[in-house]
Amino acid sequence: MSLIDDVEKVLISEAEIQERIANLAAEMNALYSDADRPMLICILKGAFMFLADLTRHLTFRHELDFMEISSYGRGTTSSGAVRILLDLATDVQGRHVIIVEDIVDTGNTLTYILRNFAARKPASIRVATLLSKPSRRQIEVPVDFVGFEVPDEFVIGYGLDFAEQYRNLPFIGVLKPEVYRQS
Ligand code: IMP
């Protein structure tokens, strides 16, 4: 069975994602045209594809850095414990920072990230997330750019995984229930 056979349905198509990212980038281009080399911080691993497409639409000079945060492991529910697996290579003090996330679900991870960044004293900080699941929020957390709001379903593709698989799919989809049951 190939990867695609595990997908129950496509929630957001490749074309819809690409169109939305071009619009988000246009908003950022307007906001940051005069800013001194903002830093886009890609939260690994889930945001790698979003970052790669977003950065290609940006017309202002900017720099990239990466941070890996622990998330769900092999399950589909949050462990609650958040920790840094890979830290930034750059000092962001005095810099304009844009956090690039894959999805804001309970809000725990982003809350942790924003607290952590506040201590690093950036000049400004905004958050861009491809997806948001507002119905699952446990903590209110500010998000400046949202690609799509999604219902309370576990989604995969376009960077998002289940048990480290499906990140390469070019769309956002939902897996067949038997895939979760098998693992
Ligand atoms: P939160 O801390 O509950 O907001 O979860 C944030 C992280 O959990 C995201 O950055 C994802 O890595 C992961 N996550 C949450 N929901 C999903 C989902 O539906 N599919 C895949 N990963 C998810």
- Of 105, 144, 152, 161, the active-site residue reads 105
Sheet of strand 155-156: strand arrangement: 7-12, 172-175, 155-156
Distance of CA 3 to the CA centre of its chain: 22
Nearest CA to ligand 1 atom 7: 71
Give the pLDDT confidence score for residue 71 in this predicted structure.
66
Task: Point out the ligand 1 atom lying closest to the alpha carbon of residue 102.
Answer: 10
Please classify residue 165 by burial: count the beta carbons closer than 10 Å to its beta carbon, then call 0-12 exposed, 13-18 middle and 19+ buried: middle
Q: How far is the CA of 97 from the centre of ligand 1 (A)?
A: 21
Q: How far is the CA of 37 from the centre of ligand 1 (A)?
A: 29
Question: Which CA distances in Å does 59 have to 8, 111, 180?
Answer: 37, 29, 41
Give the pLDDT confidence score for residue 114 in this predicted structure.
97
Q: Pairing relation of β-strands 7-12 and 63-69? A: unpaired
Q: Which residues line ligand 1 (CB under 6 A)?
A: 46, 71-72, 78, 101-110, 154-156, 160
Sign of the CA dihedral with 101 first, then 104, 109, and 111 last: positive
Tokens (6 digits) for 107: 């809000």
Give the pLDDT confidence score for residue 91 in this predicted structure.
97
Q: Which pTM value belongs to this model?
A: 0.95
Residue pLDDT, tens place only, 111-158: 999 999 999 999 999 999 999 999 999 999 999 999 999 999 999 999
Q: How far is the CA of 157 from the centre of ligand 1 (A)?
A: 12
The domains of the chain are located at 14-151
CATH of 14-151, one of 3.40.50.2020, 3.40.50.300, 3.40.47.10, 3.40.50.620: 3.40.50.2020
Q: Per-residue confidence of the chain (183 residues) as pLDDT tens digits? A: 799 999 999 999 999 999 999 999 999 999 999 999 999 999 999 999 999 999 999 999 999 999 999 865 445 655 567 889 999 999 999 999 999 999 999 999 999 999 999 999 999 999 999 999 999 999 999 999 999 999 999 999 999 999 999 999 999 999 999 998 876
